[in-house]
Amino acid sequence: MSQAKWIWYHGDFELYHSMLLHARREEFGCEYPTFWKLSPPYPNVRFFKSYHADEEDVVRFVTRAKAYVMVDNDRLPVNTDLKIGAGDHNIMVVTLATEGLPCLYVDSKYLKTDESWIADHMIVTHRVPVGCTPAYTSPEDNPEVFRFSYERLDPVKATKTEQGTLYDFGRETYAYLCIEGADQNDRIRVTYGESREEALDHAEALIRETVSGKGTYRLSGRAFRYACVQGGKGLKVWADYEYLPIADVATFACNRKNVNKIWDICAYTLHLNSREFFLDGIKRDRWCWSGDAYQSYMANRYLYFDPEITKRTIIALLGKPPYEQHINSINDYSMYLIIGAYEYYFSTGDKQFIEIYFDRLQALYDFIVGRLDENGYVCYRDGDWIFIDWSDMDKGGSLCAEQILLWQCRRCMAELCALVGKDGKAHTDAANALQKRIMKDYWREDRGAFIDCHTTGRENVTRHANIFAIMYGFVSHRRAQKIVRCVLENDAVNQITTPYFEFFELNALCMMGRLKTAQKKIESYWGGMVALGATSIWEQYLPEQKGIEHFGMYGMKYGCSLCHAWGGGPIYLLGRYCLGVYPTSVGYETFAVQPDRGLYRKIEGTVPLPDGHSVHIAMDAHVCAVSATRAGGTLIFGGKEYVIPEVGGLIITF
């Protein structure tokens, strides 16, 4: 039998922790809960199991909810030892949690809670396999407390200043500051900063905290590199680093040390933002945003290949119908969620996940389609946020970038329908019709570009729709080449200002064979932040800014997040296009390795595959060596294809 685990209605664990997470944001001493709709877990849940016992068994049904258990036709209490005789039995446990998460734990000789149970929320037609995780395997565990790991961090430097003692922990971290040695009359003020300047600026710093009285304090979890502590004498200060223990599978190294450093910092940035879910940043929002998460799914596949955090994030963002606003209130973010769910399936082959959540994905899709205008375009409705990116663009009417996302969303929905045995032809037909309208209204052949908006008369061109047109295969290769020449390689078109869309742009360029251009941009753009002392990747980087100008955003002196998950793009770019690994069928049943050194003299690295497998590539000017821990791989090199053996690998000399 499998190990006993705590079980719950599938998705409720994620929704419960999403509510906790989105209630934690603070700014300037004020609580700042999220401004979009959140879905709570179902309060009452039934758990079901049929099993056989060879002999009498002592069973305890452990739960913190109000509950009873039906053993065959007998109603019995929970949280007490019950004797259940030999034979076949049908179990139903009915729970009601007025607060918290309805969940159940059983561990007896013949009956254990595990993935084999099913559950519903009192509606028979919504009966699904239960949710569970190996993190909660004893009756003392509490699934209402998310399981993290901890490590003590001591400051690398302490400096006396007029504002107090400034503690430098060497690099960005998420931790609980600990203070020992406070006296009864002490009033200790702490100002946190991702930068030295922020920690020394109590009036403008986003996060600060004050404690009073004798004792040892473990303060709230915060993101910081620096902490300025004012008050008290002889205090001992350290930090309790909190993290999700996901191990890197990937590695990357080339002959350029600055590129290796960029890769390491990008990986560390993704680690810091990999928590209950993929977060946007660890200081300011600490929220789960669908656009930010979409890029994290991509980087995850080339760093950890951990499906669980991707699933948790999709579930938390998806919430539960009815849908009355877009995900995070942003039109594009609803579409990213459906596109991301399909891409999750294609990379993992996890059909069951799609089957369980298909009804919610369909309901979200119907909501998206129900808010289109008379031309079938995504448009602004009251309560919507047409975002795409922070760059200036013409949003005076239906925005082209949104329409190309809708086209891809429709195509992905058709694939999801086929996966669960439903007819997706209507979605495919709608996508084809939409593509024709977009080409007619937005494409300008003489300019080799899509314009932002076709109804305002401004004929404005930005990079965003043109990037999507390449990235999602919306246009022919010929037109894609024209877009590269006329838009992406045209300095007269406004440059991208965030690592978020810079990643999308470089992805499009790599798809068009411009790896060297992307490599140069990684060194200039991401490398520009690193040269300024970044220990994690920022939310926004404008090379023309100076000094603390880099830290300002949203009208706040230190509003820019200096640790943002959407900065992890080079992990994907270098794994996908330099080491050259990508799936050629669902779940990497078959996969290709097409390495390209580009500007580098030599490259070496490991790329993860599903289920703990990996591919290792080493290449210089004379030798290409590839090995994989599973079958299904093909090396594409020098215009030829070579089967990668499961044992021993292969070496090509040239």
Q: Which string of DSSP letters, residue by residue, matches 538-577?
A: -S---TT--GGGGG-BTTBTT-S-SSBGGG-HHHHHIIII
The token pair at 562 is: 């200096």
Say what the pLDDT of residue 427 is: 98
The contacts of residue 389 (CB under 8 Å, 6+ apart) are: 464, 496, 497, 498, 500, 501
Would you list the domain boundaries of the chain? 7-129, 149-243, 252-578, 581-653
| H or E element in which residue 466 lies | helix 463-471
Domain 581-653 has CATH 2.60.420: yes
* Contact present, 271 and 479 (Cβ < 8 Å): no
Walk along the chain (654 residues) in steps of 10 and give the mean pLDDT of each run. Answer: 93 98 95 95 98 98 98 97 98 97 98 98 95 97 98 98 97 98 93 98 96 93 97 95 96 98 98 98 97 98 98 98 97 98 98 98 98 97 96 96 98 98 97 98 98 97 98 98 98 96 98 98 98 98 97 97 97 98 98 98 98 97 97 96 93 93
* Contact present, 538 and 564 (Cβ < 8 Å): yes
- The CA R_g of the chain, rounded to the nearest whole Å, is 27
Residue 236 backbone dihedrals phi, psi, to 5 degrees: -110, 125
The token pair at 393 is: 């663009």
* Contact present, 625 and 635 (Cβ < 8 Å): no
Say what the pLDDT of residue 31 is: 95
Say what the pLDDT of residue 329 is: 97
Q: 252-578 in CATH: which number?
A: 1.50.10.10
Say what the pLDDT of residue 55 is: 97
Domain 7-129 top-level CATH class: mainly beta
| H or E element in which residue 57 lies | strand 57-60
Fold agreement (149-243, 252-578): no
CATH number for 149-243 (one of 2.60.120.260, 3.40.50.720, 3.40.50.150, 3.40.190.10): it is 2.60.120.260
Say what the pLDDT of residue 235 is: 96
The contacts of residue 432 (CB under 8 Å, 6+ apart) are: none
* Contact present, 452 and 393 (Cβ < 8 Å): yes
Q: Is cis: bond before 610, omega within 30 of 0? A: no
